[in-house]
Amino acid sequence: MNQQAAIGFGGEDYCLAVYVANRPPIDDYPALDHLRGLAQGELDHIVRHTSNHWRKLFSVYAKFLYEMGEAGLWEEVPQYSRWQDYRDQHLLQADSRAALLFSSPDFSPNGSSLKNSSLKNCVHVVAGKTYASALGLDAELQWLDTHFAVIPEKRLIVCPYFDYRQLSNERITRLIAYIREYWN
């Protein structure tokens, strides 16, 4: 993959990166060229001014991280009593250890995913088989079943897209189990 800057939402010290093929089609998001945390209320702004797709994506991402917290893998969620509160009050803000990236994964020695030494152990999740194929990952992928694939040496997991029907509760549980294998 080509060396590039990480582009998307989240904290600069992320240890979990989720990659999606599209961006919110409003405001300055189509031209965003760096990683930045969402401001308080910005997630709601995106949801109100775009399609239902973005509400589902953010909701599934928050639910996934919340369940990682319940599994003891994600320290950001204990103060929230519901995944909805976590989504609305903390998801992808500047102090988050998660990122939603519109740029492709960069595994080169000087790549954006490796600038901070703590990011060398980052777990990468590509949302969707189609996107993984578009990224040119097919030849390296080891399919675990019809929904999940990995590239172990890159700490990369391909999973269903972040949508309620595709990444169901049962599949979120399986994704967390696969992440546990790479988590420090």
Token code pair at residue 158: 């391909």
Give the pLDDT confidence score for residue 77 in this predicted structure: 85
The predicted-structure confidence for 99-122, as pLDDT tens digits, reads as follows 999 999 987 654 444 444 445 679
CB 67 within 8 A of CB 173: yes
- Report the distance separating Cα 57 and Cα 53, nearest Å: 6
What's residue 107's pLDDT?
Answer: 72
Helix axes 52-70, 169-180, angle to 10 degrees: 50
- The H or E element spanning position 53 is helix 52-70
**Mean pLDDT per 10-residue segment, the chain (184 residues):** 77 95 95 96 96 95 96 88 95 96 78 47 94 97 97 96 95 96 82
Kindly state the DSSP code that residue 153 receives in the 8-state scheme: G
Q: pLDDT over 70 for what percent of the chain?
A: 90
pLDDT of residue 120: 61
Q: What angle do CA 22, 154, 137 make, to 5 degrees?
A: 50
